[in-house]
Amino acid sequence: MVTSEEYLSGQVLLINKPLHWTSFQVVNKLRWEIRRAFNIKKIKVGHAGTLDPLATGLLVICTGKMTKNIDSFQAQIKEYTGTIVLGSTTPSYDLETEVDQTFPTEHLTEELIRNATQEFIGEISQFPPVFSALKQDGKRLYEFARAGEAVDIPSRQVHISEFEITRIDNLEVDFRVVCSKGTYIRSLANDFGKALHSGAHLSALRRTKIGDFDVTNAVSVENFIEALPSE
């Protein structure tokens, strides 16, 4: 069992983030539970890369002095799996918002769908979703979006090293992506729809790897709490 001194000196925790939780909610919950279990007044806890509330999977959580390594963990290559729905878009590029447009899909073939992934391999330019936590002029982009205010978002360069289709079921397409820090999979889904001369949005997303860290070695929030000393 990890001691209070070890948490303070620094631990790396692999957490399997549940659906609908924000990354900050996970951090705050773990911080509170560690403080309660060991009667610690103050401890640093942070995560190495945000996951959207509608995404699940690997969160790398650092405690104590290990929080100094967060930037290096964030810079690691990441792997995601998920599902893209073809033929329709949403303002948030995922299921946070309702479908706002539909597009033709009659021309889509398995060959066309699989070949379109090649357009995104390598260095690409993408625009972050307006429904994101990025800050501009001191406000989160989603604050502008929810208020219906237009905002110019600069594009960013990201690197996609692998993008493969793992299942096609009518308009549902499962995928696996290996990408650099800063890549928005929601934006990739939206751009994928455009490349197919249709539309697309993300319906499921799971982060499976960050560098050498793998979600198969991660524990749920509940199991982490259960392993802590009880009062």
Active site residues: 52
Do residues 49 and 161 touch, judged by C-beta distance below 8 A?
Answer: no
Place of tokens 């951090």: 27
Cα 152–chain centre separation:
23
Spatial separation of the C-alpha atoms in residues 159 and 179, rounded to whole Å = 6
Which of 23, 83, 22 minimizes the C-alpha distance to 59? 23
Amino acid at position 83, single letter? T
190 HSE (CA, 13 A, CB side): 22
Rounded alpha-carbon distances, angstroms, from residue 119 to 88, 142, 194: 20, 28, 11
SS percent in the chain: helix, strand, coil, step 5 = 30, 35, 35
CB proximity list for 43: less than 8 A, separation 6 or greater? 7, 8, 31, 34, 35, 63, 64
Residue 157: Cβ within 10 Å count: 10
Token couple for 10 = 């620094």
